[in-house]
Structure 1
Amino acid sequence: MSLSYFILNGFQLNPDYYDCNVTSKPVGLRREFWGSYFFWTGILIFVLYLICFIAIATHDLMKTPAYKIMFVLGVYDLSSVFMDSIVTGILGFSGVAFCDCPRFIFVIGAIGYGSWMGCCITSLILAVIRICDVRPKLKIRKLYKGGRIYIFVGLCWVYGLCAALFTKPVTFCSMYMSWFFDPGVGKDPKLYRNIFHFSNNCSMAIGTVSLYGYLAYIFLNKTGDFNVTQSRYQTRVLFQAFLFCIFHLISSIMYTYMQYVSAPEFLILIGQIA
């Protein structure tokens, strides 16, 4: 069951997966504190991020490969903040369960899930580009020089779009203020396992630690070779890249864990906050 199935079948959910005409419907729980927290922090983060995004989009450095990828990452992140914070806050504050508005939650979950997947691959590509910025003699740099960068930009869009359209989405659970593949309608949880998500998150965790660890190692060992202007630029570049990706690392680990293990509420909230 995927968003493409939903669209092609007259916007009807597959009853084999998302049947709300059962006795064991998920029960909503009003979470007014956490709902307010996620909503208002989401609004604040969205506005601040939007300002930064506009600055990136209008900067002269948009001609560079790194800024082109950061632009894509910004679009995905804004979409993720809207779903994971603002929409989550509204649903949690109201105590909405999946069966209260299944189509809306299904569609929003698919969009948010696709945005997350797009964030992951974009973050890793950005890490490779940042490494090449510090080590310009690396041969891999040739892969994205000139117009070739648009191949990677297209890959980022296609990856996120395919995840949203062709794999199982996440659904909201107000009890834990988070999103799960299992909507809680009494079906076998194995029906909702998403191997694509599991593989993506494991690759994201390993790739982020490896690439950004290597980037930090290179940067710290080459700092003495830069002049003051170059050193400031490299510091800014590293800091930007770190901020863009650290929360993706935390989320990838926590979300993978809580989809397969009955995690305590505080761990689920940490993953959602990240």
Structure 2
Amino acid sequence: MSRPLLRFNFWLDNYPEYNCGALGNVDWRSRGTSRPVLGALSIAFGLLTIPVYAICAVAMLAMRELSAYKIMLYLAVADSTDLLFASLAFGVMSITGEVYCSNPRFQLLFSLGLEFFFFCSGTGCLILAFNRFGEMLRIRPIIWLFKGSRAYWVLGACTIPVCLLVLFTPLMLFNSTHHMLFFDPMIFDGKFSYESPVHFAFVIFLPTASLTCYVLLLLGLVCRYGSVRELRESQALSKATLPILVQSGAIIAIHMTALMTFQLVQFMPAEAVDAALYLAHVGWMLVHGSPPIVYLALNGTIRKPFDGILWIDTPKLSICPIFT
């Protein structure tokens, strides 16, 4: 039986396909599987990356005059908050062996928060790619769109579809037995068909559009300057713009790989892709936990608060507004 694809998720437990009492008095906690190693590793990842990301975000505040850093701050908030769900809360539920019906209301709030900030991160990644595309190719309408406080309006407007997505389309729910999130709450066996074409389209569109913007940017730069050598010698790849370009590309590549992997495992039986499910969750965490590593490796200004702590001493790069 198919289920409606649009509904208000705050009433999720009132719908028959999510009715945990339909099967009688079931001990739902016995349906889960405790995974202490996975849980501990997930929690450790979050505890390591969230503070580092927070320090990077503080360093970005001094450079928020640049539109790229406004977007990177948005990403920092989305990524750090989603790590609270994808690493810390996921880890705790893995240890305790949770399934949807063991705590439906908590699972609902967990899924709402996890998916909201997950898609905010993907949206921010796309906006960053679009911003770099417009500013480095000096496309005036795009430069105007992100100039000054308008960048915040763009970010706010692009967050609205994310809110609609998580509130009115099927949510993904945690299951400790398969250590992943699924549209199927795994209450009934084959009685309902759980799917979300809107979710699928969103997950495909965000990384694909981000990658397209980035590839068009690189092609546009080469076409404008005639050759890679002339491009390197031009102001377009100065000490100010090159780190941001490389950072954006690295983050986009990570998003693209992780989201596509995550999407693929949703179309396979959970029992058949057990190892892939572990990789999918690692990819999910890397989507949110890798940006601070990229910043520390490539951006000397963001790295300054860590001077004396990091073992590798790399050249410092000053950031100054050129195209913004």
**Interval of TM-score (by shorter of Structure 1 and Structure 2):** 0.7 to 0.9
Cα distance in 1, alignment partners of residues 178 and 91 from structure 2: 12
Q: Return the offset for 1:273.
A: 0.7
Residue of structure 2 aligned with 1:256, choices 260, 263, 275: 263
> Superposition pairs for residues 1-274 of structure 1, below 5 Å?
5=8, 7=10, 13-21=13-21, 22=23, 27-56=31-60, 58-59=61-62, 61-137=63-139, 139-186=141-188, 188=190, 191-217=193-219, 221=228, 222-226=231-235, 231-262=238-269, 264-274=273-283
Q: Return the offset for 1:3.
A: 11
Cα distance in 1, alignment partners of residues 200 and 140 from structure 2: 31
Q: Return the offset for 1:6.
A: 5.0
Aligned CA distance change for structure 1 residues 3 and 69 (closer, same or farther; 3 Å): farther
Cα distance in 1, alignment partners of residues 89 and 192 from structure 2: 27
Aligned CA distance change for structure 1 residues 67 and 190 (closer, same or farther; 3 Å): farther
Aligned residues between the structures: 267
Three-state SS of the structure 1 residue aligned to 2:253 is helix
CA contact under 8 A between 1:46 and 1:81: conserved in structure 2? yes
Aligned CA distance change for structure 1 residues 99 and 137 (closer, same or farther; 3 Å): closer
Comparing 257-266 with 79-88, greater Cα deviation is found at 257-266
Q: Return the offset for 1:120.
A: 1.5
Q: Return the offset for 1:189.
A: 7.5
TM-score, normalization by structure 1: 0.86
CA contact under 8 A between 1:76 and 1:116: conserved in structure 2? yes
Three-state SS of the structure 1 residue aligned to 2:181 is strand
Three-state SS of the structure 2 residue aligned to 1:126 is helix
Cα distance in 1, alignment partners of residues 191 and 240 from structure 2: 49
Comparing 177-186 with 17-26, greater Cα deviation is found at 17-26
Comparing 17-26 with 240-249, greater Cα deviation is found at 17-26
Q: Return the offset for 1:200.
A: 0.7
The one-letter code of the counterpart of 1:49 is Y
Q: Which of these two proteins has the greater Rg computed from alpha carbons? A: 2
The one-letter code of the counterpart of 2:85 is M
The one-letter code of the counterpart of 2:8 is Y
CA contact under 8 A between 2:207 and 2:252: conserved in structure 1? no
Three-state SS of the structure 2 residue aligned to 1:123 is helix
Q: Return the offset for 1:81.
A: 1.0
CA contact under 8 A between 2:179 and 2:278: conserved in structure 1? yes
Q: Return the offset for 1:231.
A: 2.6
Q: Return the offset for 1:185.
A: 0.8
Aligned CA distance change for structure 1 residues 236 and 156 (closer, same or farther; 3 Å): same
Q: Return the offset for 1:68.
A: 1.6
Counterpart residue number, 2:288: none
Cα distance in 2, alignment partners of residues 244 and 47 from structure 1: 19
Q: CA RMSD in A?
A: 2.7
Aligned CA distance change for structure 1 residues 171 and 132 (closer, same or farther; 3 Å): same
In structure 2, list runs of 5 or more residues that go unmatched: 223-227, 284-324
CA contact under 8 A between 1:201 and 1:252: conserved in structure 2? yes
* CA offset digits 1:223-269 (Å, max 9, x no partner): 22139xx5322221023213433332123212221222225122111
Aligned CA distance change for structure 1 residues 46 and 2 (closer, same or farther; 3 Å): farther
The one-letter code of the counterpart of 1:28 is G
CA contact under 8 A between 1:182 and 1:189: conserved in structure 2? no
Comparing 239-248 with 33-42, greater Cα deviation is found at 239-248
Cα distance in 2, alignment partners of residues 133 and 111 from structure 1: 32
CA contact under 8 A between 2:5 and 2:196: conserved in structure 1? no
CA contact under 8 A between 1:66 and 1:130: conserved in structure 2? yes
Comparing 249-258 with 181-190, greater Cα deviation is found at 181-190
Aligned CA distance change for structure 1 residues 5 and 219 (closer, same or farther; 3 Å): same
